[in-house]
Amino acid sequence: MNHEDVFNGTQCFLVEKYDEQSGESIINYLEEEGFRSTKWIDLPHIDSVYINVESMCYGHAVHGVRTAFTIIDEGVKNQFRVKEFKNIWDILKKYRINKTKAENNDLKYLSAGSSCFLVKDDGLKNEGHEFWKYLKKEEFDSLNDDEISEWLLINVKNRTYLSNSSSNKILNYVHDNYQNALEINEFITIWEIIKKHEDIYESENLEEQYPSKEDLKDIYTRICHEKDISDRADSCYEFKDYESIDEYAEDVVISMVSSFSYYDEKSAREVVNKSMDFIRECYEKRLPAMDVADDFWIF
């Protein structure tokens, strides 16, 4: 197994916008805690918020539109409650001393980090430690069979962990973050909250929800298409060696769809087609397509 798979995922949580008990918006709390907004548009129909605890930023979430990847792929139907997120953040923020925050309001910061937590305890050197039994009970799988150590990297998305590695990337990560590692009881508190939001369906349940194989095929095709858009958008932060202005204009369309929930491909393409003089001017100035997309942000 590839030890670096432990870094899969992101540190982004999908959280309800309003507290179910008080009815208060989580936005004021996030700003008080020092989180930055990423092209936030506070519209009445927006009832979910993407919050990244690594880059300390938040962004809008609209049902049916993926603006960011989340810590365990949770969606609107199994998003975190405000109280749950606050409980998690109260633990994590103690370890954010001198960590870098997002420098601007770019949406890419919503998917920063990984679904991995570093845990340390001298007792972990003992194979009989209760935490090893806990991980087994919770169905976490080891990525290695190396000698165990006092630190442990745990990925909550894949339910995997490793306790030692020869990977320079992993060893450097542990070295840089060792002083900010969680205690065992802190990780357990976080995991007991997170695991309630896993979205695991058995095949028979899928068939009940989507009885047609064609429906399943369409859903899979749509998911792949969304991933293709996301991957292409990642390359639009710099000006590329385009063969034509049409290719450049299409990158602007992709950037708009990726960044703004109120644009689909059809509406974004219509806007770009009506603005080709502006697009040509940006093309000649060699401006990144993602920067041009920002000019079509609807306030």
The answer to whether residue 4 sits within a structural domain is no
Over range 159-172, report the average pLDDT. Answer: 85
Residues 166 and 226 in one domain: no
Confidence of residue 45 (pLDDT cuts 50, 70, 90): low
> Using CB atoms within 10 A of its CB, is residue 199 exposed (0-12), middle (13-18) or buried (19+)?
exposed
Residues 56 and 20 in one domain: yes
Q: Which amino acid, one-letter code, is at 183? A: E
Question: How many whole angstroms separate alpha carbon 50 and alpha carbon 48?
Answer: 7
Residues 79 and 139 in one domain: no
- pLDDT value at residue 87: 95
Residues 236 and 283 in one domain: yes
For Cα atoms 146, 152, 155, give the angle at the middle one, nearest 5 degrees: 105
Enclosing domain of residue 233: 210-294
More confident residue, 296 or 29: 29
b/e string for 167-184 if b means 16 or more Cβ within 10 A? beebeebbeebeeebbeb
User: Of the given ranges (54-68, 110-124, 136-150, 209-223), which has the lowest mean pLDDT?
Assistant: 209-223
- pLDDT value at residue 117: 95
End-to-end CA distance of the chain: 47
The answer to whether residue 203 sits within a structural domain is no
Which one-letter DSSP state was computed for residue 127?
Answer: T
Please count the other Cβ atoms lying within 10 Å of the Cβ belonging to residue 187: 22
Confidence of residue 5 (pLDDT cuts 50, 70, 90): confident
Please count the other Cβ atoms lying within 10 Å of the Cβ belonging to residue 36: 19
Whether residue 196 is predicted with pLDDT greater than 80 in this model: the reply is yes
Residues 235 and 270 in one domain: yes
Over range 248-262, report the average pLDDT. Answer: 86
Residues 90 and 36 in one domain: yes
- pLDDT value at residue 220: 58
Residues 240 and 162 in one domain: no
Domain ends where: 89, 111, 133?
111
More confident residue, 290 or 223: 290
Closest CA to 13 of 91, 106, 81, 63: 81
- pLDDT value at residue 11: 92
Whether residue 47 is predicted with pLDDT greater than 50 in this model: the reply is yes
Across the chain, what does the average pLDDT equal?
A: 82
Task: Report whether 50 contacts 97 (CB < 8 A).
Answer: no
The answer to whether residue 59 sits within a structural domain is yes
Domain ends where: 96, 111, 126?
111
Question: How many whole angstroms separate alpha carbon 92 and alpha carbon 71?
Answer: 14
Residues in CB range of 154: below 8 A, 6 or more apart:
6, 116, 117, 119, 135, 140, 160, 161, 187
Over range 115-135, report the average pLDDT. Answer: 91
Confidence of residue 73 (pLDDT cuts 50, 70, 90): confident
The answer to whether residue 16 sits within a structural domain is yes
The answer to whether residue 289 sits within a structural domain is yes
- pLDDT value at residue 218: 64
The answer to whether residue 22 sits within a structural domain is yes
Over range 170-196, report the average pLDDT. Answer: 92
The answer to whether residue 256 sits within a structural domain is yes
Domain ends where: 145, 174, 197?
197
Confidence of residue 111 (pLDDT cuts 50, 70, 90): confident
User: Of the given ranges (44-53, 73-82, 251-260, 265-274), which has the lowest mean pLDDT?
Assistant: 44-53
- pLDDT value at residue 37: 84
Q: What is the pLDDT of residues 143-154, one digit of tens each?
A: 886 667 899 999
Tally of domains in the chain: 3
